[in-house]
């Protein structure tokens, strides 16, 4: 591992190193109005949610390290105590980029970037009508980050006072991540699109943990860290279920390798047992792994317990 101390880097390198690691970051497309009523719209990826009761998000508008100039967004929120945050979908990303250009304060980036204004209900600032999800926010607190040593950051804590969610992204009463199609910001000029998703449920009771897995599982050359994590997220180590596996007399399968290649761990298990290979640990680990890839943790455990 290369160890790098922030003080040894230029401002630019420090900025990019931080952003490359703290990634991907959601993008807040911040709508605000100045004291003269001119609307402003700019993207901010120093952004996240920190509480849900009440809903609190935070935003990090920087002060330009070279010029000392503050962002219009920061000035507007400090002056009016309000803003909107529209989330950025893939369909919006190139127009969003246009809004990030350093326009003078009297330029309305909704117009420059070609987005329509949707009227907010509780704050003056409009939000982006093309966004599938937007929030109306009130400033709770601005924290200047180490201005005593020349720090150029701000942390704006904002309370969400209204949500707007497009009907088009709601499926069965829930916000559908595929329909949202949000993008995230990474280091340098990299972005990510949220099309490659997976689900893992968080354990609600203490699980056994990787350290409690039997040695022959924990030291496997075949099972990965993710596999061990799935196996370890059970409340107790399962015991061998005498009725596992329960194959119908008519059940047929090809060889272990063919069944594994076609994504059928149950068939592979059948073939293994037919060939009397249940004492082949590597084979059992391969089959257990295939069960885990299908989120069938119980069958994976039972396969491993056939030791």
Ligand X SMILES: Cc1cc2nc3c(=O)[nH]c(=O)nc-3n(C[C@H](O)[C@H](O)[C@H](O)COP(=O)(O)O)c2cc1C
Of the two residues 139 and 306, which places its CB atom closer to ligand X in the complex?
139
Of the two residues 62 and 305, which places its CB atom closer to ligand X in the complex?
62
SS3 per-residue string spanning the chain: CCCCCHHHCCHHHHHHHHHHHCCCEECEEEEEECCCCCEEEEEECCEEEEEECCEEEEECCCECCCCCCECHHHHHHHHHCEEEEEECEHHHHHHHHHHCCCCCCCCCHHHHHCCCEECCCCCCCCEECCCCEEEEEEEEEEEEECHHHCCCEEEEEEEEEEEEECHHHEECCEECHHHHCEEEECCCCCEEECCCCCCCCCCCCCCCCHHHCCHHHHCCCCCCHHHHHHHHCCCCCCCCCCCCCCCCCCCCCCCHHHHHHCCCHHHHHHHHHHCCCCCCHHHHHHHHHHHHHCCCHHHHHHHHHCC
Under rule CB under 6 A, which residues in 70-129 are in contact with ligand X?
Answer: 71-73, 97, 100, 102
- Closest distance of CB 149 from ligand X, Å: 19
Under rule CB under 6 A, which residues in 44-73 are in contact with ligand X?
Answer: 44-46, 60-62, 71-73
Of the two residues 78 and 306, which places its CB atom closer to ligand X in the complex?
78
Under rule CB under 6 A, which residues in 8-27 are in contact with ligand X?
Answer: 27
The 137-176 contact track toward ligand X, x by CB under 6 A, reads: ----------------------------------------
- Closest distance of CB 76 from ligand X, Å: 8
Of the two residues 42 and 95, which places its CB atom closer to ligand X in the complex?
42
Residues that bind ligand X (CB under 6 A): 27, 40, 42-46, 60-62, 71-73, 97, 100, 102, 185
């Amino acid at each position: 591992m290369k160890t790098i101390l922030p003080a040894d880097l230029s401002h630019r390198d420090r900025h990019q190193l931080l952003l490359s690691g703290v990634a991907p970051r959601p993008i807040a497309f911040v709508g605000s109005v100045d004291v003269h009523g001119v609307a402003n719209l700019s993207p901010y990826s120093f952004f996240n949610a920190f509480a849900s009761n009440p809903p609190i998000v935070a935003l990090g508008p920087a002060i330009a390290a070279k010029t000392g100039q503050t962002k219009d967004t920061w000035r507007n929120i400090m002056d009016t105590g309000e803003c909107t945050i529209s989330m950025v979908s893939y369909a919006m990303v190139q127009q969003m980029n246009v809004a990030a250009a350093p326009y003078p304060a009297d330029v309305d980036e909704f117009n420059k970037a070609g987005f329509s204004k949707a009227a907010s209900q509780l704050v003056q600032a409009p939000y982006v009508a093309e966004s599938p999800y937007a929030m109306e926010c009130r400033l709770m607190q601005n924290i200047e980050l180490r201005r005593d040593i020349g720090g150029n950051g701000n942390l704006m804590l904002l309370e969400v006072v209204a949500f707007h969610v497009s009907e088009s992204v709601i499926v069965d009463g829930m916000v559908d991540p595929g329909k949202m199609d949000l993008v995230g910001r990474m280091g340098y000029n990299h972005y990510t699109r949220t099309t490659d998703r997976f689900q893992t449920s968080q354990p609600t009771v203490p699980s056994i943990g990787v350290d409690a897995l039997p040695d022959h599982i924990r030291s496997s050359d075949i099972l990965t860290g993710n596999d061990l994590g799935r196996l370890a997220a059970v409340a107790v180590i399962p015991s061998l279920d005498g009725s596992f596996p329960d194959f119908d007399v008519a059940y047929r399968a090809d060889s272990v390798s063919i069944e594994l290649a076609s994504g059928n761990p149950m068939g592979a298990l059948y073939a293994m047992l037919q060939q009397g290979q249940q004492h082949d640990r590597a084979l059992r680990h391969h089959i257990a792994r295939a069960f885990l890839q299908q989120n069938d943790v119980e069958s994976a455990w039972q396969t491993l317990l056939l030791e």
